[in-house]
Structure 1
Amino acid sequence: MKTEPKIWDMPQIVFSLLFIILLIVACFWVVQPFVLGFAWASMVVIATWPLMIKLQSLLWGRRSLAVIAMTLLLILLFILPVALLVSSLIENSGPVIAWASSGHIKLPEMEWLNSLPVVGKKLNSAYHTLVQGGGSAMMAKVQPYIGRTSVFLFAQVGHFGRFMLHLGLMLLFSVLLYWRGEQVGHGIRHFAFRLASRRGDAAVLLASQAIRAVALGVVVTALVQGVLGGIGLAISGIPYATVLTVLMILSCLVQLGPLVVLVPAIIWLYWSGDTTWGTVLLVWSCVVGTLDNVLRPMLIRMGADLPMILILSGVIGGLVAFGMIGLFIGPVVLAVSYRLVSVWVHEAPAPEESPEEVVEELAEREQEQATK
């Protein structure tokens, strides 16, 4: 019995495909405002899920108590530092501007400028001319740039507002994911298995390992360095130590390190004549500044073995592409992609032949093709 050949209905296929694409675009359009917040929440929940399970076991097996504890921890780690930074900047910006424009600024003589070759005398003369004019002269020099700076700051306010919105969405989605984490994880694994069988399921598990490695290596290291540096600032008597600690944590997240904040503090202590505490802070800064060279690789390898250049590129590229949220999204995207490609490549054995043999074989084949 002969079977009739299957006839492809091309208009039906085309219109079905167009309908599916239209449906996907419409869904993405609807959820677009929540994508970054949900992605951030997913990374936070995946990274802290073992901690939440441990808290649940300590809190008599109650998921609700564990979710409340994790929510308070997220508020402590994300909301409070940002709120402290903003409130401190608002409170202290007025006195700082008034002090800078009061005309009572006393600056050092900096006679060592004369020892610089070629441009030393010119720099020294220009510097002393500016110092003799006082703070008002400084403000007059800076005045042409204030307008540009104001425009830049107003532009950053918009970015900061979006960052706070995504921060709130992250907190909300994190609570929901903590509450129904097993169901969500099983659903994602089911979808990946339906999409690519066992490879899809393995890809999801590898992605979770990469996310946890980035969270441990980047975020935990930044928190440890920032807190230890803040303790050193507070003990040394540096004013506004809380604000500087938050700035130090952000600087560590951007991979600039804590020395961006600690070095000016050391200079200020020596300048003010407090050499004892300046030396103490200098020694402490050497310890804190080199801590990431030991702590970060160790923490990253606890989740997955990832190259450090990948993490640094992800942090910087994510910051440029997505803003503050890119500090977390950038390295995660690169880490997940690297892990998936690495596993796919290692499914096949590495070539054992030497490069010379391969080149000779290719040359022989080219000669055979040319003689035919």
Structure 2
Amino acid sequence: MTPIDSDRHLPRTLLDTLIRAGLITALVVSCYEVFHPFLSLMLWSVILAITLYPLHLLLRPHLGNSDSRAATLIVLVAMAVLLLPIYLLGASLGDSVEVAIDTVKSGSLRIPSPPDSVAGWPLIGESLHGFWEQASSDLTSLLQRLAPYIKDVTLVLLGKIAGAGAGFLVFIAALVIGAIIMAYGDNGHRSAQRIAARIIAPERSGHFVLLCTATIRAVAQGVIGIAFVQMLLLGIGFMVMGVPGAGLLAMGVLLLGIMQLPLPLITLPVIAFVFYSEGPTLAAIIFTIYTMLAGLVDNVLKPLLLGRGVDVPMPVVLIGALGGMLSGGIIGLFIGPVVLAVGYKLFWQWVDTPPVQIQESPSEGT
């Protein structure tokens, strides 16, 4: 090939490469735009499928080695377990709101006068004492004055509740899709290994898949699963004792459990309210013991569940929960810790992997 032909060939090759790269980029962006609305749903489905797949393998031999039967049974049992407590908590929340509205409308709500010592508190003492005094003497006019602010807060709370409801529906849909993924679990495992082999070295693809699987199961079972168990246990106790807003308090327990914050932020005020309203009765004492034991369940279950997977620092889980909630709402609260934990483990796996040493050929050394 002459130098002139070579000069003509290089720009043509570069132009072809740029056109192909541009077309591939446009295709990738278009696929992302189409798939983006379902990204959280599919992530949640994969997380559920990976977490529940050991149970699927355990049930399959007892159901005629049928993957579809095992997956269907898991979905039906999970829906039954989820729908009944959530219905009871939702009904409790609705009854609490109705009682609060009736109490305000009837005028039977009375707020005691503030102690004189409140006025001596630094910075906020005088303003708090005045506000408290007005609430105790003329609550109706105070509520009328605060009505615009109460309306804005109520709308925000209703929006959050609606978002939580939509998130629960997405969770149900993710559970169904996760069952379909479990039904094709063997093919999915082979596909994951093929993708890992294409991204990294083939000899490390198996370890890569096992690390991701172990991390997802550890976080999903050891953090999200335990938080859900504590929500059910404490929520049932709140409903039995007739605590106002039991459903909302149980949801707060779930959020604190996922974010790895101390549950006494909710349980101690509830126990104090029960003793204030019921007195030191036998029921109040039993409720206190039950609430304390339910709050300590994570100390027993967390070492068992997290010990089966990988060790993920709690700050990583906390940051993942907060960041996921800010970016993706209630669904992001669940997905965030799992995704960040997987990224954390893969990052340190990459750091601990020694670089490949390039050996010089004998001709290069001379």
Shorter-chain TM band? 0.7 to 0.9
Letter in structure 2 aligned against 1:300: L
Unaligned runs of 5+ in 2: 356-366
Question: What's 2:270 paired with?
Answer: 265
Return the match for 1:101 from 93, 100, 105: 105
Report the residue type matching 1:163 in the other structure. G
**Number of paired residues?**
345
Q: Give the superposition deviation at 1:278.
A: 3.4
Displacement of 1:140:
2.1
Q: What is the CA deviation profile of residues 2-36 of structure 1, one whole-angstrom value per residue up to 9, with x for unaligned ones?
A: xx999651111111111111111222222222211
The residue aligned with 1:358 is none
Is 1:318–1:326's contact at 8 Å kept on the other side of the alignment? yes
> Any conservation in 2 of the 1:190–1:201 contact (CA below 8 Å)?
no
Unpaired runs of 5+ residues, structure 1, are 350-372
Q: Secondary structure at the match of 2:211?
A: helix
Moved over 6 A (4+): none
- 8 A contact 2:92–2:239 mirrored in 1: no
Q: Which residue of 1 is the match for residue 210 of structure 2? A: 205
* Whole-angstrom CA distance in 2 between matches of 1:115 and 1:157: 37
> CA, structure 1 residues 93+114, in 2 after alignment: closer, same or farther (shift >3 Å)?
closer
What is the identity, as a one-letter code, of the residue corresponding to 1:186?
A: R
The answer to whether residue 148 in structure 2 is matched with residue 147 in structure 1 is no
Q: In structure 1, what is the equivalent of residue 260 of structure 2? A: 255
- Checking the alignment, whether the CA contact within 8 Å between 2:97 and 2:245 is kept in structure 1 is no
Instruction: Return the structure number with greater relative CO, CA threshold 8 A, min gap 6.
Output: 2
1:61 to 65, 71, 88: 65
Which of 74, 77, 80 is matched with 1:73 structurally? 77
1:225 to 223, 230, 247: 230
Going from structure 1 to structure 2, the CA distance change for 1:28 and 1:162 (only over 3 Å counts) comes to: farther
CA change 1:230–1:147 in 2 (3 A) is closer
- Write the distance in 2 (CA, Å) between the matches of 1:133 and 1:75: 48
Aligned equivalents of 2:352, 2:75: Cα separation in 1: 40
**Residue matched to 2:334:** 328
Residues of 1 paired with 2:195 and 2:127: CA distance? Answer: 69
Is 1:285 aligned to residue 316 of structure 2?
A: no
Amino acid at match of 2:308: M
Map Cα deviations across residues 75-127 of structure 1 (whole Å, 9 max, x no partner).
24555555554455445534422322332103345538449645657644542
Deviates more, 1:165-174 or 1:326-335: 165-174
Q: Give the 5 Å matches for 1:121-270.
A: 123-124=128-129, 126-134=131-139, 136-153=140-157, 155-156=159-160, 159-160=163-164, 162-164=166-168, 166-196=170-200, 197-234=202-239, 236=241, 238=243, 241=246, 244-270=249-275
Same amino acid, percent of matched pairs: 29
Q: Secondary structure at the match of 2:70?
A: helix
Q: What is the TM-score normalised by the length of structure 1?
A: 0.80
TM-score for both structures, normalised by structure 2: 0.81
- Return the alpha-carbon distance in structure 2 between the equivalents of residues 263 and 108 of structure 1: 22
Cα RMSD between the aligned structures?
Answer: 3.2
Q: Quick one: distance in 1 between partners of 2:120 and 2:192?
A: 64
When residues 265 and 129 of structure 1 are mapped into structure 2, their CA distance, relative to the original with a 3 A threshold, is: same
Task: Give the partner amino acid of 1:24.
Answer: V
Of the structure 1 ranges 76-85 and 337-346, higher mean CA displacement relative to structure 2 is found in 76-85
Distance in 2 between residues matched to 1:33 and 1:207, nearest whole Å: 24
Answer yes or no: is the 8 Å Cα contact 2:219–2:337 preserved in 1.
yes
Contact between 2:96 and 2:244, CA under 8 Å: does it hold in 1? no
The answer (yes or no) to whether the contact 2:212–2:342 under 8 Å persists in 1 is yes
Deviates more, 1:29-38 or 1:44-53: 29-38
Q: Which amino acid aligns with 1:217?
A: G
Contact 1:130 1:138 in 2 (8 A): yes
